[in-house]
């Protein structure tokens, strides 16, 4: 985050192209919330969005299983890909329960998310806390230089402060910055991508943009592909206005594709096919 304005997140909302992305996302979200199925069956749409969002997030982390396979499985203890799928499912289930804590202590929520994701796959003393100096990070998708532990601690405090102090920025901007900053920092020894995308989900829900959690951005991130995800993220890392705008727009497109997915679910439910 390279701006020095008193409300840097709001400043990002004024970047060229960002306002259009924000408006487009809002219209898309309003359309799916207005679907007639949402009047009586929103819980079913939420549950399906959670499943599809978890599958999408796991795909970006290297476990690209079919939706049918994720739906069929009950045991995710065997093999690294199964662990990733299990972690994504647990995180999605946890996200909606952490909203009140997020507003009071974002760092506690991030610690909890890592604890939930790791699920016994990492040493107990390395779970649920930012990494220490010299500790390795397992995040194969992101190859950007790794900030040292001291920088991680400082930037996490800065991110927390921005969230706690409040911002006039649109929800999409805040969610994209939280997502991008956590990817940049990779504060934990593992599952940073899953945690970052879950934090994005929490911001979108808690902001009121997607209160029923039916617009899984993770689906859209996966649909746009890993190469596009990394390219957009490099724009965030650059700190340049056009790069930041490209990352926010990428995240906006992910939400819109998530909306499209849930609209299809609504249509299936309306036909009695789901």
Mean pLDDT of 210-235: 97
CA distances from 107 to 64, 98, 153, 247 (A): 29, 11, 10, 23
Q: What is the pLDDT of residue 3?
A: 42
| Average pLDDT, rounded, for the chain | 93
Mean pLDDT of 211-218: 97
Q: What percent of the chain has pLDDT over 70?
A: 97
Q: What is the pLDDT of residue 273?
A: 53
Q: What is the pLDDT of residue 4?
A: 41
pTM score: 0.94
Q: How many CB atoms lie within 10 A of CB 23?
A: 13
User: What is the tens place of the pLDDT at every residue in 8-19?
Assistant: 888 888 888 899
Mean pLDDT of 1-30: 84
Q: What is the dihedral of CA 175, 177, 180, 182, to 10 degrees?
A: -80
User: What is the tens place of the pLDDT at every residue in 117-167?
Assistant: 997 776 777 889 999 999 999 988 898 999 999 999 999 999 999 999 988
User: What is the tens place of the pLDDT at every residue in 62-89?
Assistant: 999 999 999 999 889 888 999 999 999 9
User: What is the tens place of the pLDDT at every residue in 239-253?
Assistant: 999 999 999 999 999
CA distances from 28 to 150, 191, 214, 257 (A): 40, 30, 12, 9
96 falls in which pLDDT band (50, 70, 90)?
confident
């Amino acid at each position: 985050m390279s701006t020095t304005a008193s409300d840097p997140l709001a400043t990002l909302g004024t970047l060229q192209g960002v306002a259009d992305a924000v408006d487009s996302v809002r219209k898309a979200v309003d359309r799916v919330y207005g679907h007639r199925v949402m009047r009586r069956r929103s819980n079913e749409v939420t549950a399906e969005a959670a499943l599809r969002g978890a599958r999408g997030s796991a795909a970006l982390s290297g476990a690209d299983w079919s939706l049918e396979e994720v739906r069929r499985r009950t045991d995710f203890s065997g093999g690294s890909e199964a662990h990733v799928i299990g972690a994504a499912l647990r995180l999605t289930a946890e996200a909606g329960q952490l909203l009140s804590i997020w507003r009071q202590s974002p760092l506690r929520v991030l610690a909890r998310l890592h604890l939930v994701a790791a699920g016994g796959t990492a040493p107990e003393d390395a779970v649920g806390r930012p990494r220490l100096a010299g500790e390795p990070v397992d995040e194969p998708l992101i190859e950007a230089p790794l900030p040292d532990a001291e920088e991680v601690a400082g930037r996490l405090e800065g991110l927390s402060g921005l969230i706690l102090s409040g911002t006039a920025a649109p929800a999409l901007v805040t969610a994209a910055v939280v997502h991008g900053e956590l990817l940049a920092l990779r504060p934990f020894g593992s599952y940073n991508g899953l945690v970052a995308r879950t934090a994005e989900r929490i911001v979108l829900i808690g902001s009121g943009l997607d209160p029923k959690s039916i617009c899984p951005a993770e689906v859209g991130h996966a649909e746009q592909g890993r190469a596009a995800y990394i390219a957009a993220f490099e724009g965030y890392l650059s700190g340049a206005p056009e790069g930041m705008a490209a990352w926010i727009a990428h995240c906006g497109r992910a939400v819109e594709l998530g909306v499209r997915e849930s609209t299809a679910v609504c249509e299936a439910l309306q036909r009695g096919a789901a």
